[in-house]
Amino acid sequence: MTTNTTAIYSRIQPNSLLAELPLLATFNMILIACSYLTINIPFSPVPITGQTFGILLVAIALGRVRGTAVVMAYLLEGAMGLPVFAGGSAGIAKFVGPTGGYLVGFAASAYLVGYLADKGWDKNFGKTTIAMVLGTALIFITGLAQLSFFVPSETVLTIGFMPFIPGTIIKIAVASVILPLVWKFINNVK
């Protein structure tokens, strides 16, 4: 199987979907575990979670196709009622509630970050960080757009963006720094 992508995962080049499933399932479980790292903010319907960290890590490690597939599977699991969203929440109603835009942004972010990984942005710390910043920006854009239907417009940024800036910086930094460990893990799975 020959590919033009340079994402780390493309090095494995498994022969069948069956060969890929254990690794993809592992990344799905990592994403779910990140969702359980949740801190509720008393003044906001949007909790602080590890989800964005998981989304960024999955996308940069697996690339556009596989990373987006893992995120879409995660979103489908939650929509079907499996307790995989923030703090173990679930249900299709989450997509039409105040945090639904963030969920939609997860898929868009995975696609963009994965695409950039496929273009080699996962090989350079600076580009990796920029890719993750862009992916996070997509999550915030879609999240804030939907949140604006549920809260007064003058409070959207103060309850849906500002409290998340310090955590976002930490998540992007940690994901960028541990990416070589993820490469090592993936290479050992070969």
When computed from its CA atoms, the radius of gyration of the chain, rounded to whole angstroms, is: 16
Write the pLDDT tens digit of every residue in 53-69: 999 999 999 999 999 99
Domain definitions of the chain by residue range? 15-179
**Domain 15-179, what fold?**
Arp2/3 complex 21 kDa subunit ARPC3 (1.10.1760)
Rounded CA separation 51/32 (Å): 8
Over residues 153-178, the mean pLDDT reads: 94
Give the pTM. 0.87
Rounded CA separation 155/10 (Å): 43
Rounded CA separation 181/190 (Å): 15
- Rama region for 13: left / alpha / beta (φ>0; ψ in -120 to 50; rest): left
In the chain, the largest separation of any two C-alpha atoms, in whole Å, equals 53
Write the pLDDT tens digit of every residue in 70-94: 999 999 999 999 999 999 999 999 9
